[in-house]
Amino acid sequence: MPLINLSGYRAAARRALPRAVFDYVDGGAEDEVTLRANRASFAALRLIPRIQEDNRALDLRTGISGQEMALPIMLSPTGNSGLIHYQGDLAGARAAAKRKLIMVVSGASNYTVEEIAEANPGAWYQLYPWVSRDFYGALIKRVAAAGYRGLVVTVDVPGPPKRERDIANGFTPPRLTRRNAWDIATHPRWTADVVLQVRSPGANPETAAGDLSLMRRGQTVIGRSVIMKNSTRCRFAA
C-alpha cells in the first residue's frame, strides 16, 4: 500500500518498529491529554480557498530571521531519532537541505552537530537550558562555530516527563523484559538497521542550565514563555 498520508505512515511505523520504540514516538506524557488536544487543534484548522484567482505562478517561499525557506514549514527537533532509523537526524538534515527547508536539530541527536551542519549548513539547534552554565556556554560556541543559523530554546521541560507508555514498555528507565526482548527478536529488519548500527545519542551533547545571556547578538534566538489564563486556551508572549 502506498504511503500517502500521516495515517498511512503511522500504520507502517507500527508494523516496522518494536512496540517500545513506536510508543516512544507516538506517545505523550501521563494521560496524554495535551497530545490529544494538540491533534484536535490541528484538525480544527481550515484552509479557505480563493475562488477565481490566477494560480499559474504560485510561490510559497517565505523567510524567518533573514533565512529563506521554500515553504512555511520547519522540521522540528525529534530526540533519539536514531532509534527509528540509524541515519536519524542526518537523513532529516539532507532532506531538509534538498527541499530548502530549515531543520531544528535535536539536542538528543545521534550525530554530532558538525556532521549535521555539513549535511545542512542552514540548520538551527534546539537548546535545553539544563545542567551548568559553563557546559551550555561551550556548546553554544561549538554550535556557532559549526555554522548553525539559530537557536530554538526549549524552556517548558524543567524535568523528565512521566511518559507512562515508556515506563510500561521498559523504555524509561531502560530495562530488558521478556516482552520487549521478544518484540526486538520479531523485528529483524529494525534490529539489523538500527541496533547493529546505532550511535549513542550522546554524540550530540545536551545543553545546560542558567540564563540566556551567553547567546550573543547576531545569532537568531527563539524562546517562548507560556502565560496560563483561567480559560481553555493559553496565550503566548515573547
pLDDT in tens, 156-171: 777 788 999 999 998 8
In a domain, 51, yes or no: no
In a domain, 47, yes or no: no
Length of the chain as a residue count:
238
* Whole-number pLDDT of residue 61: 93
Calculate mean pLDDT across residues 118-127. Answer: 92
In a domain, 69, yes or no: yes
Calculate mean pLDDT across residues 28-53. Answer: 92
In a domain, 52, yes or no: no
Total domains in the chain come to: 1
In a domain, 45, yes or no: no
Calculate mean pLDDT across residues 165-178. Answer: 88
Asked if residue 176 has pLDDT above 80, the reply is yes
Average pLDDT, the chain: 81
Query: What cell does 3 get?
Result: 504511503
* Whole-number pLDDT of residue 175: 85
Please classify residue 84 by burial: count the beta carbons closer than 10 Å to its beta carbon, then call 0-12 exposed, 13-18 middle and 19+ buried: buried
Query: What cell does 104 get?
Result: 531544528
* Whole-number pLDDT of residue 198: 60
In a domain, 50, yes or no: no
Percent over 70 (pLDDT), the chain: 81
Q: Are the C-beta atoms of 75 and 101 separated by less than 8 Å?
A: yes
* Whole-number pLDDT of residue 232: 43
For the chain, state the CA radius of gyration.
20
Instruction: Tell me the C-alpha distance between 60 and 70, whole Å.
Output: 6
Name the least confident of 5-9, 25-29, 155-159.
155-159
In DSSP terms, 64 is beta-bridged to: 67
Residue 86: domain span:
6-36+65-237
In a domain, 70, yes or no: yes
Global pTM exceeds 0.85: no
- What is the phi/psi pair of residue 118, to 5°? -65, -35
In a domain, 42, yes or no: no
Instruction: Tell me the C-alpha distance between 138 and 206, whole Å.
Output: 11
Say which CATH number the domain at 182 has: 3.20.20.70
CA dihedral angle for residue 109, residue 115, residue 121, residue 123, rounded to 10 degrees: 0
Instruction: Tell me the C-alpha distance between 207 and 222, whole Å.
Output: 15
